[in-house]
A and B are shown apart, each in its own frame.
Chain A
Amino acid sequence: MCGEEGGEEPLHGASRTERTPVSAAAPAPCLPAEPRLWRELGAAKVEVGAPEGTMAVSVRSWLANEAGKHFVLMLWLAANTWLFLDTYLLYSTGQQYHYLYQMLGLGLCISRASASVLNLNCSLVLLPMCRSLLTFIRGSHTMSTRRMRRLLDKSKSFHVTCGVAICIFSAVHVSAHLMNVVNFSASFSEDFPDLNLARYKGEVRHKHKVTKEKKNQGFFCFRFSSVPGLSGVLLVLILLLMFISSSHCIRVCNYEIFWYTHNLFIIFYIILMVHMVGGALKYQTNTEAHPPGCLSSQLAVLVLCLCAQTWLWVSGPLCLYCVERLFRYIRSSHPVTIVTVIRHPCDVVELRMLKKNFRARPGQYILLNCPGVSSFENHPFTLTACPTENKETFGIHLRIVGDWTEHFAHLLLPQPRAALEILPVVHQRRYPTLYVDGPFGSPSEEVFNYDVSLCIAGGIGVTPFACVLDALIERWKSFRLQRLYFVWVCRELQSFYWFAELLCALHEKLWKENRPDYLNVKLYVTQKDCQQPVESFSHG
């Protein structure tokens, strides 16, 4: 173990936000850093020096690591394209839409096609947010392979992709419907009065003189008097609010704004369900009796409104999401017992808790809710100690950055009292009520599934690896892992005291059991003016 000074920018891996800590676990097929390790990788026969060999390894490595998510992206793009084209062709060539298509033209097809793409994406966007379900899939041995778990790591990116698609296709849908409104008025049909949406020809553009009374009931009013019109405008407004506050800088600086506006999705879905009621686009139902183009068409062309399809698409994932939220709410309804609170240097507080039937794997995280600080905020923290057979407590390390953690630490830690106390009173320490939701899976759980793992952490981002080291102390022999490279970069030297005991104990244990090469630790300090002398961590 060595401590060196580096001159780079400190890596802030803060566990208090949704960002994953700075980490990388290198899978076995990639080229290891040290030549002597190559002999140990008996399974992967690496040819030294031959360029084709290196190329084959990197192609295999790409296929194993990256191909899955690109494949899923291609599949999603294909599904969207197929749906768009299929609906477009249905409306442009379908018999029952013939007269409507004559009236509206391209706008009809594009608006309906983008609507079906929107239906698909509005249903898919909810699925990556069912976190308990994803944690269950990740943990179950029957359902998850390494490829599936790597795909699950990208669930948030998939959610963002679907969200962006919703925004783009909403813009397309709105523009197409605006074109429809224009065309409804321009091609006002006297032959089929039921198909019309406009009240008279030329309602939208004042190409010819209209009476004053008709002018006042303008274009504007008819747009808003219908349910689809009003709900459409509200939907776009909510979508815009959600989209604008999800930008990266707002998420990083003011997470609460993002969180509270994003919760408007509930209203979004409710309005989406009623959007198609009282639909403006109608189709012909008696195409057998009166096929398109037949001359006695004035007589009996029956028309009906388009039935709303959105609920078919959206209700499944919405129910799943609601069940998941209910499950999480029930699971977190019992407050946890706080066993110990320890203050560490550099503004870190360690919290040990106890909860009945709490099972967690190393690398998972929990969401804390403290009503004494804020009723609605849930903050994620990675577990640094999981419950085992020997000890039932689980712990987190939280760094005090920002108002929630400051207030929380203030409630937890005894404040230094300046006032004199005449009698020494035994304080019954009253900890605040705390609710824990979780645990949820994260990519850090994969450390044990490889022969060699490289873990790089910055600052408080070390917490998932601290849990890994904690698990290794108990049962390092039971994992597939043969070697762990651990790189930890901190701003100050004092930060290493957070897990100094853990590192020393693990190191000593491995030495005693004759596996000194199992763990390789490299510690770095980035602060420029390092006044304290670099002290070695003694292990004797």
Chain B
Amino acid sequence: MGKIEWAMWANEQALAAGLILLTGGIVGVAGQFRGWEFASYAIAAGFFVCMLEYPRSKRAKGTSVERTGQYCFTVCVKAFGPVTRNYYVRAFLHAALCVPGGFMLATVLGCVCLGIASLIYLAAAVRGEHWEPILPRKDTRKPVAESIKSPPQNPPPRPPPEIRRKQAKDVEGAAYDNPIAVTDE
């Protein structure tokens, strides 16, 4: 379990929790249940969490796959600098956001999921992870050297004749010796 990136799981969990909170809030407001004010809060909180969690972070090791159309969200989240970069902030933010959802049945599931996501973010923060934006890579081409325009005047240097003769003979020197022989017997 050494090199798990907890932040990735926390991100998925928080995004799902945001969606569930949003749905629960809509149901609560539409049904006009007791405590529907909490439901309207849940709609706003769910929407905010979805916006915050939509852009995936860049992985520390390996290829990062970004979500469809996440570039504009990345730019917005990146603009807040260290506040969104740090996972401790996210952990406490989610913990604070989830509490009012617990007072109404329609939103209690979203509250618990967001609480779990907040715990996983805390684990990620303790391990020293942080959020990195996935930005499109700019391929820097090396500036073309001047010498490409004029072909070389002299042939490349050749080794002396004795060594050239040895290279032609010694092809098996490069072969690999497998200690267990594969035979057809």
Which residues on A are within 8 Å of B, measured CB to CB?
175, 178, 182, 204-206, 218-220, 223, 233, 236-237, 240-241, 244-245, 247, 249-250, 253-254, 256-257, 340, 342, 345, 352, 374, 402-403, 470, 473-474, 497, 500-502, 505-506, 508-509, 535, 538
B116 touches A241 (CB 8 A): yes
Given contacts A220-B105, A256-B1, A535-B174, contact A240 B113 (CB under 8 A): yes
The interface-forming segment of B5-13, B44-52, B84-92, B134-142 is: B5-13
Given contacts A256-B4, A403-B3, contact A249 B65 (CB under 8 A): yes
Q: State in angstroms the CA–CA spacing of A240 and B14 once bound together.
A: 12
Given contacts A204-B33, A340-B180, A538-B171, contact A244 B12 (CB under 8 A): yes
Q: State in angstroms the CA–CA spacing of A506 and B184 once bound together.
A: 8
Given contacts A223-B105, A505-B182, contact A535 B171 (CB under 8 A): yes
The yes or no answer to B78 lying at the interface (CB within 8 A) is: no
- Taking CB atoms, residues of chain A closer than 8 Å to B1 are 256, 374
For A205, give its contact among B2, B3, B33 (CB under 8 Å): B33
What's the least CB distance linking B51 to chain A, in Å?
19
Q: Which of B160-185 contact A (CB under 8 A)?
A: 171-172, 174-176, 178-184
B13 touches A244 (CB 8 A): yes
Q: State in angstroms the CA–CA spacing of A147 and B152 once bound together.
A: 64
- Taking CB atoms, residues of chain A closer than 8 Å to B176 are 345, 497, 500
Given contacts A204-B34, A403-B2, contact A233 B8 (CB under 8 A): no
The yes or no answer to B77 lying at the interface (CB within 8 A) is: no
Sampled A-B contacts (7; CB under 8 Å): A182-B33, A240-B113, A403-B2, A473-B184, A500-B178, A502-B182, A538-B172
Q: State in angstroms the CA–CA spacing of A473 and B185 once bound together.
A: 9
- Taking CB atoms, residues of chain B closer than 8 Å to A240 are 16, 20, 109, 113
B12 touches A247 (CB 8 A): yes
Which residues on B are within 8 Å of A, measured CB to CB?
1-5, 8-9, 12-13, 16, 20, 27, 31-34, 59, 62, 65, 104-106, 108-109, 112-113, 116, 171-172, 174-176, 178-184
B106 touches A178 (CB 8 A): yes
Question: Which chain B residue lies CB-closest to A500?
Answer: B176
Given contacts A240-B113, A254-B9, A538-B171, contact A505 B183 (CB under 8 A): yes
Question: Which chain A residue lies CB-closest to B177?
Answer: A501
- Taking CB atoms, residues of chain B closer than 8 Å to A505 are 182-184
Q: Which of B108, B182, B183 has the most CB of A within 10 A?
A: B182
Question: Which chain B residue lies CB-closest to A390?
Answer: B185
Q: State in angstroms the CA–CA spacing of A241 and B16 once bound together.
A: 10
Q: State in angstroms the CA–CA spacing of A402 and B171 once bound together.
A: 36
What's the least CB distance linking A470 to chain B, in Å?
8
For A250, give its contact among B9, B27, B32 (CB under 8 Å): B9
Question: Which chain A residue lies CB-closest to B183?
Answer: A505
- Taking CB atoms, residues of chain A closer than 8 Å to B2 are 403
B178 touches A205 (CB 8 A): no
B12 touches A245 (CB 8 A): yes
Known contacts A538-B171, A538-B175; 18 additional CB pairs below 8 A are A178-B105, A204-B34, A223-B105, A236-B109, A237-B112, A237-B113, A240-B16, A240-B109, A249-B65, A253-B8, A253-B62, A345-B176, A403-B2, A403-B3, A473-B184, A501-B181, A506-B184, A535-B174
A342 touches B178 (CB 8 A): yes
- Taking CB atoms, residues of chain B closer than 8 Å to A474 are 184
A253 touches B59 (CB 8 A): yes
Question: Which chain B residue lies CB-closest to A508?
Answer: B184
- Taking CB atoms, residues of chain A closer than 8 Å to B65 are 249
What's the least CB distance linking B89 to chain A, in Å?
22
- Taking CB atoms, residues of chain A closer than 8 Å to B112 are 237
By Cβ-Cβ distance, the 3 closest A-B pairs, closest first, are A509-B184, A501-B182, A497-B176
For B8, give its contact among A236, A250, A509 (CB under 8 Å): A250
A254 touches B5 (CB 8 A): yes
Q: State in angstroms the CA–CA spacing of A182 and B12 once bound together.
A: 32
Q: State in angstroms the CA–CA spacing of A345 and B175 once bound together.
A: 12
- Taking CB atoms, residues of chain B closer than 8 Å to A245 are 9, 12-13
For A219, give its contact among B4, B12, B105, B179 (CB under 8 Å): B105
Question: Which chain A residue lies CB-closest to B103?
Answer: A220
Question: Which chain A residue lies CB-closest to B4?
Answer: A254
B109 touches A233 (CB 8 A): yes
- Taking CB atoms, residues of chain A closer than 8 Å to B27 are 175, 178
What's the least CB distance linking B60 to chain A, in Å?
10
B16 touches A249 (CB 8 A): no
